[in-house]
Structure 1
C-alpha cells in the first residue's frame, strides 16, 4: 500500500515560510539526492494555494539543467488538489470532501508512495486526520523569527519515532519520523 510522506523544508525556529511567504532560505544541495525521493513517489497532494503557485510552475530559461529535470520529474506525477472550491484543474484531480476516504482509496491503488506537498492548511488537515505515514523534515540552518509555522494549533499531541537522520554539506539536517500509533 502507498504511504503518505510529508517531505518538507523547515527553519530552525519551526517555520515553513517567512512572514511574506518567502522560501529563499531553502537550500537544495546535490548531496541531498532529491531525485531519489522523486523516484520513490508517483502521486502528489496539494492544497489549492500551493497548486496555484507550484502545480504548473516552469523554471525560466536561465535555470540549470538539474532544476529543469527536477520540475520535469515533479510534473510527471499524478496530482490531486484538495480544495473546498469547485474548480477544474487541467492536470490534477480535485478532492473537495470526505478526505479520509478518498485518500484511503488512492493509497489502495498500489504503485509508489505519495508526496504530501502542502500547503500549511492541507498539512494541518492531514495531521489532524492522522493520515501522514512518514514525516521527512529538512531543518535548514536559519532562523526567521516569524512566518508560517509547521505545527500550529494541533488538536492533539503527535508522538513520533525517529527512523533516520542525514546531514548535508550545507548544514541542513533531514530528520525522518514515523508516527507512534
Structure 2
C-alpha cells in the first residue's frame, strides 16, 4: 500500500507562509552555506503529488512561472475552479480525503502532500498522513498561515531522523 507523506517547510513558530502568503523567507541562516538537497532523495520515493489551488497558483505565478517543475510526477490540484487538465496535471473538484484513500489503495510509489494548509488540515484530521518530513526554517514570522491549525485529535508520532544544516532542521516522523 502506498504511503502518504507530507514534505514541507515551516518557520520556527509554525507557519508555512507569511501573512501575505509569501514564502521568500524559505532559506537558511547564511546564504554562503551550502544547503543539503533532501528533496531529491524524497522525490525518488514518490510518483504522485497532491496540492491545493493556492499552492499550484503560487508555483506557476511566482516560484516557477516559465516551466512546470514537477513534470516527472502526476499532480492532482484540488480546486473548485474549472481548468483543463493535462496528462500530468489533473484539476479535480473532489473531497481530498476520498482522493487520498483512493490513491493509497492504487499501485505505485508514494504520494506527496505538497500543500497548502487547508489540505494538510483535512488530511491530518482524518489521520491519513503516514510520514511527516518537516524542515524548520530559522525564522520567526509572528503571523501567517499555520501548518497545523484546527487539529481535531492528537496524533502520536515516532521520530525517525533529524538532520541540521545552515540553521535549518529536517525532522522526519511516522505515525506510531
Task: Compute the TM-score of the two structures, normalised by the length of structure 2.
Answer: 0.84
- Flag structure 2 segments of 5+ consecutive residues without an equivalent: 29-33
3-state secondary structure, aligned to 1:22: coil
* Residues in 1 aligned to 2:170 and 2:84: alpha-carbon distance in whole angstroms: 35
Q: Offset at 1:106?
A: 1.5
Q: Offset at 1:89?
A: 3.0
Residue-by-residue CA offset, 1:135-165 (whole Å, 9 max, x unaligned): 1110011111111111111112222221111
Question: What is the 5 A alignment of 1:7-22?
Answer: 7-22=7-22
Aligned pair 1:134/2:131, yes or no? Answer: yes
* Residues in 1 aligned to 2:173 and 2:38: alpha-carbon distance in whole angstroms: 19
Question: What is the 5 A alignment of 1:16-35?
Answer: 16-27=16-27, 29-35=34-40
> Please, which of 169, 173, 176 is the counterpart of residue 177 of structure 1?
173
Aligned pair 1:103/2:100, yes or no? Answer: yes
Alignment-derived partner of residue 76 in structure 2: 80
Alignment-derived partner of residue 64 in structure 1: none
* Residues in 2 aligned to 1:46 and 1:166: alpha-carbon distance in whole angstroms: 26
- Change in Cα spacing, 1:139 to 1:105, as seen in structure 2 (3 Å) is same
* Residues in 2 aligned to 1:178 and 1:37: alpha-carbon distance in whole angstroms: 14
- Flag structure 1 segments of 5+ consecutive residues without an equivalent: 61-67
Alignment-derived partner of residue 52 in structure 1: 57
Q: Offset at 1:9?
A: 0.4
Higher helix share goes to which structure? 1
Task: Compute the TM-score of the two structures, normalised by the length of structure 1.
Answer: 0.82
Q: Offset at 1:86?
A: 4.5
* Residues in 1 aligned to 2:79 and 2:121: alpha-carbon distance in whole angstroms: 14
Contact 1:95/1:102 (<8 A) preserved: no
Q: Offset at 1:55?
A: 5.4
The count of aligned residue pairs is 169
* Residues in 2 aligned to 1:31 and 1:155: alpha-carbon distance in whole angstroms: 34
